[in-house]
């Protein structure tokens, strides 16, 4: 399935990552990546969910690329953004741009008791209104932060900037969220567990799942759901 090489699934360790996500062998996953075989429909649906790319596009290269839940990086999205880095210019905003809060782990750890990220963010980032509209995100509830480390590769590489919908803090199993975990900024797949517990999952197969008890989960704050990202590969 050569379409996988047009998104971030072609990065190092992709075969192992695909195998873990789909419950298949690394050998089979590598054949998909190399275009030697095609996943069955149920496997395509799983790949679609974990990459944010529509199964029809993965299989046939037809229609829209992304799902509504998370927009993958593309040249279209990157051009719409205008500036991927933190906005520090005095240049006036374009009519279709807004500034959204851009926060870091340092600000997060110092912001105990904050009500929203705009209270702690000391920097702003330009974002395109049409991108927010297509993702169904209210401009007043959008924010951005940076991914640190390789735990979410190949989906979100180290240094990727992610867009957050801070109004979406109710966990939907398998979605990607930014969380405040004791002052640590983390971007992870989240799953609900019995008795108010929480499972935290990385995209990188080298990282084991974390199962958090209901009592310990009280110390985790959902900042927002990831709906967009940009990265330099």
The string of pLDDT tens digits covering residues 51-87 is: 666 666 666 555 454 444 444 443 333 333 333 444 4
List C-alpha distances in Å: 175 to 38, 49, 212. Answer: 25, 8, 17
> For 75-230, which CATH superfamily applies?
Umud Fragment, subunit A (2.10.109.10)
**Which residue's structure tokens are 């990086």?**
73
Q: What angle do CA 196, 201, 203 make, to 5 degrees?
A: 160
CATH topology of domain 2-60: 434 Repressor (Amino-terminal Domain) (1.10.260)
What the block records as the tokens of 135 is: 């993702």
Structural contact between residues 181 and 229, judged by C-beta atoms closer than 8 angstroms: no
Using the predicted structure, report yes or no on whether residue 225 has a pLDDT greater than 90.
yes
Percent of the chain as helix, strand, coil, to the nearest 5:
30, 25, 40
Residue-wise pLDDT for 123-163, tens only, equals 888 888 888 888 899 998 999 988 888 898 888 888 888 99
Beta bridge partners of 187: 178
What's the confidence (pLDDT) of residue 68? 45
Identify any residues that bridge with 192 across adjacent strands, giving them in sequence order.
198
Task: Please report, for the chain, the start and end positions of each structural domain, with discontinuous segments joined by +.
Answer: 2-60, 75-230
């Amino acid at each position: 399935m050569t379409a996988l090489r047009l998104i971030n699934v072609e990065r190092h360790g992709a075969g192992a990552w695909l195998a873990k996500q789909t419950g298949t062998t690394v050998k089979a996953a590598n054949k998909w990546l190399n275009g030697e075989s095609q996943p069955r429909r149920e496997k395509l649906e799983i790949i679609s969910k974990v990459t944010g790319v529509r199964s029809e596009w993965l299989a046939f290269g037809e229609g829209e690329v992304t799902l509504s839940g998370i927009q993958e990086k593309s040249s279209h999205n990157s051009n719409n953004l205008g500036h991927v880095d933190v906005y520090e210019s005095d240049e006036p905003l374009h009519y279709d741009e807004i500034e959204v809060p851009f926060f870091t782990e340092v600000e997060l750890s110092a912001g105990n008791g904050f009500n929203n990220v705009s209270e702690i963010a000391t920097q702003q980032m330009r974002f395109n209104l049409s991108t927010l509209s297509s993702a169904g995100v209210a401009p007043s509830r959008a924010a951005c932060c940076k991914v640190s480390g390789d735990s979410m590769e190949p989906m979100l590489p180290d240094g990727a900037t992610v867009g957050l919908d801070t109004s979406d803090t109710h966990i939907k199993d398998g979605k990607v969220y930014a969380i405040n975990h004791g002052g640590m900024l983390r971007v992870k797949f989240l799953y609900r567990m019995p008795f108010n517990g929480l499972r935290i999952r990385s995209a990188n197969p080298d990282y084991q799942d974390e199962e958090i008890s209901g009592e310990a989960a009280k110390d985790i704050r959902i900042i927002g759901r990831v709906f967009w990202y940009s990265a330099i590969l």
